């Protein structure tokens, strides 16, 4: 296909309104299509930049991944499909009516639209639990795994659930890099995870962002304590950068 000849596209913004009564919405993704479904795509904001709530992050991630998967199919969404989305999604999550735009290059156009309409304000992002979870989910999906974020299994919520034919593998994500004084919430998170995998008889893995060099002795000790818990439970622990290494073995057995 000669994309240089396809110089007319249509875009919509996916918006999220957590409180419909206050009508305060945030742009969370932008979709680009053409009239015939020949090119296009979607660019999504990191879930951790949209909400601090793990369940909301999981909900948004599931919906947006569903939209993104449509662009990997043989027949991509076209203008008619985008109009249909705009007409049917109108509650907490909605899609603005399509608007025409010139498309000299689909990828560059989508990037420009994302940067102008969706991209979070460019400020240094601390290595919070949510940010590290973004990194983990992206890395696992790049390896071809189906990942569900912020998912309940039974009575336990897990940061990431990796689907496999032989059963799920659950992941716990912890960051000690942003803890200033009280590490107890992170310890409770780890305890919830370990109790959950024991009760549900599930294999688990953990990703830990270590403390900073100037973190307090209390935080350093807490991180070491949690690592010891995982070691005793025989739960493999990874650093976030480990998952980015394509040479690292990650057999989820």
Q: How is the chain split into domains, by residue range?
A: 3-117, 129-244
**Angle, alpha carbons 125-246-110 (nearest 5°):** 55
pLDDT given for residue 124 in this prediction: 53
Residue 136 tokens, joined: 């983990």
Q: Quick check: 253 pLDDT over 50?
A: no
| Per-residue pLDDT, 181 | 81
* Length of the chain, in residues: 253
CATH class of 129-244: alpha beta
**Is the model's pLDDT at 175 over the cut of 90?**
yes
Q: How far is 173 from 51, CA to CA, in rounded Å? A: 16
Q: Is the pLDDT of residue 126 over 90?
A: no
Confidence band of 97 (pLDDT split at 50, 70, 90): very high
What token pair was written down for 203?
């294999």
Whole-Å CA distances, 104 to 26, 34, 70, 97, 225: 28, 12, 23, 22, 55
DSSP one-letter code for 21: T
Of the chain, the percentage scoring pLDDT greater than 90 comes to 51
| pTM for this prediction | 0.74
Distance from CA of residue 127 to its chain's centroid?
15
Q: Percentage of the chain surpassing pLDDT 70?
A: 90
User: If you ran DSSP here, which 8-state letter would residue 49 be given?
Assistant: G
pLDDT digits (tens, 9 = 90+) for 11-51: 999 998 876 566 678 898 999 999 988 888 999 988 888 77
If one compares 124 and 171, the residue with the highest pLDDT of the two is: 171
**Residue 3: pLDDT above 50?**
no
The pLDDT of residue 2: 47
What is the chain's mean pLDDT, rounded? 87
**So what's the pLDDT on residue 180?**
81
Query: Could you tell me if 184 and 148 are in contact, meaning their C-beta atoms sit under 8 angstroms apart?
Result: no
Which residue has better confidence, 72 or 79?
A: 79
């Amino acid at each position: 296909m000669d994309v240089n000849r396809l110089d007319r596209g249509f875009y919509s913004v996916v918006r999220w309104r957590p409180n419909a009564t206050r009508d305060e919405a945030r742009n969370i993704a932008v979709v680009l299509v053409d009239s015939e479904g020949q090119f296009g795509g979607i660019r999504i904001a990191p879930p951790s930049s949209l909400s601090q709530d793990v369940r909301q992050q999981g909900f948004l991630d599931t919906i947006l991944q569903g939209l993104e998967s449509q662009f990997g199919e043989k027949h991509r969404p076209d203008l008619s499909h985008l109009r249909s989305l705009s007409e049917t999604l109108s509650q907490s999550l909605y899609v603005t009516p399509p608007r025409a735009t010139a498309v000299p290059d689909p990828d560059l156009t989508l990037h420009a639209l994302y940067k102008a309409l969706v991209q979070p304000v460019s400020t240094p992002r601390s290595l919070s639990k949510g940010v590290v979870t973004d990194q983990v989910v992206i890395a696992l999906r790049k390896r071809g795994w189906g990942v569900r974020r912020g998912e309940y299994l039974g009575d336990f919520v897990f940061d990431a659930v990796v689907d496999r034919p032989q059963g799920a593998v659950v992941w716990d994500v912890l960051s000690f890099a942003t803890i200033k004084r009280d590490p107890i919430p992170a310890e409770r998170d780890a305890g919830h995870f370990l109790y959950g995998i024991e009760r549900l008889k599930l294999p688990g893995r953990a990703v830990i962002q270590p403390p900073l060099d100037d973190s307090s002795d209390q935080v350093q000790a807490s991180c070491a304590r949690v690592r010891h818990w995982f070691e005793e439970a025989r739960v493999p622990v990874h650093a976030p950068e480990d998952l980015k290494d394509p040479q690292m073995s990650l057999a989820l057995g």
